[in-house]
Amino acid sequence: MKLRAVFLAFAILFSSFQSIAAAPPKAGAICSKLGSFAINNGKKFTCIKSGKKLIWNKGVVVKSAAPSPSPTITISSPSPTPTPTTSPSPTPSVTPTRQNPKGPTSFDDLVERYDGISYAAWSKSQTAITNASDVAPPYKALIGQNTKLLFQKPSVAFDVVARLYSGFKSSEDFTVLFFGYEDRLWAQEQMKQLQPDHDSRWITYTACATRATCWGAGVFTDQKARVLVVISAEVSDKNHTSGTLEAHEYTHAIQQNQMRRPSPWPPIGDWPPTWFIEGQALFAQNASIYFDSFEMYTLNRRETADELFRDPTINSEWIQEYFVINPPATWFSKYKSWRQYDLGGMLVEILTAIRGPTSTMEVWKLMGNGSTFPDAFAKVYGVSFEKALPIISKAIALQLGRS
């Protein structure tokens, strides 16, 4: 798959907070991206330009896949007493051979040491993983009759994320639903039963609208803190075969468990900003799966942020304007949704470089106990977000080769 296709996959498949609450498209309603499409109630709607507005067209009928005859539910569970031996070896297999630049110690020297941010964040993540013995809770796996897992050991990815954020737990009531295109209607019924408060049509109009775009994943929790991770297993790209998808979604499961309630949309006020939510999950997927190789971490970090490096308009001023804590509705249509991931990931990488990976999850814990994002940030990092933001923006711009 070409790199741009990977980006488009990420932009849709990891919208576990944005997608679950997005309204189904309807003719004449406002849409955000010209040429994008969505499927609802058997119709494919395309975003078109009408005058100065972008709206959904009237839609065309599409043929839905019939459910597989008598689908069989395959249920599997890890050992009731999982041990760290199921996780990746804690001994780094690849060690950087060059002299790595010094990482920042605080916001005071962040700009001066911007070229050491990436290595410092990876190094502190590697140390956290190798020193911890946490494991994810046992989970129940629901696998469609026609579905084959693209990543054979999801618990490996879950466990390494649990060690990255040692001391922060996900819900003990943990189910993972795997499905391919042929099993999507079966998967929709499973989600309807397991998470009735969420719209299970998310599976067929976002996560798996067509066979070619059946690459979605998401995390759903209810008022009893039960968590359902939904993962498509149709498109065999690197994100589905390396464990990064599972690591990304399990990070969301840990995040949501700190709040102890389902995520609203948009998550404003008493929830972290979307760029912190998705940025942390994107950083975690690379830092956890590639914890034993800085070269592989660097490669995947660059791939998932390639648009930032190629877009010369994204400078420090642009970045500073982007990071809004409680954005208005217009903010979501002004910026590409992928910026929540790649730009958010670079911000979380900076915070990790300064204070380690668990500091970013501590923000969630404080907010779960009633703090606002600015208050939680100031308590964890010893400086207000307002004061840190220009410094963060400058450091990111320098990493992108800009001022």
* Host H or E run for residue 368: helix 357-368
In this structure, is residue 218 part of a structural domain? yes
Q: Is residue 7 part of a domain?
A: no
Degrees, nearest 5: CA angle 284-267-264: 105
For residue range 160-171, what is the model confidence (pLDDT) as tens digits? Answer: 999 999 999 999
Domain presence at residue 121? yes
What whole-number distance in Å separates Cα of residue 228 and Cα of residue 177? 7
Range of the domain at 187: 74-399
Domain annotation covers residue 378: yes
209 is a domain residue: yes
Task: Report residue 332 as tokens.
Answer: 């979501």
CATH code of the domain in which 390 resides: 1.10.390
How many domains are contained in the chain? 1
Q: What is the pLDDT of residue 209?
A: 94
CA distance 146 to 316: 48
pLDDT of residue 261: 81
Helix pair 339-355, 294-304: axis angle to 10 deg: 150
Residue 353 CA to its chain's centroid (Å): 19
Q: Residue 173: is it exposed, middle or buried by C-beta count within 10 angstroms (0-12/13-18/19+)?
A: middle
What integer pLDDT is reported at residue 17 of this predicted model?
A: 43
The whole model's pTM is what?
0.78
Q: Record the tokens describing residue 244, joined without a space.
A: 């990064």
Low-confidence ranges of the chain (pLDDT < 50): 1-23, 63-97
What pLDDT does 263 receive? 76
Q: Is residue 29, in this structure, part of any structural domain at all? A: no
Provide CB contacts within 8 A for 30, sequence distance 6+: 53, 54, 55
Q: Select from 101, 115, 184 the least CA-distant residue to 145.
A: 184
Give domain status of residue 31, yes or no. no
Residue whose tokens read 């049509």: 201
- Assigned domain for 344 exists: yes
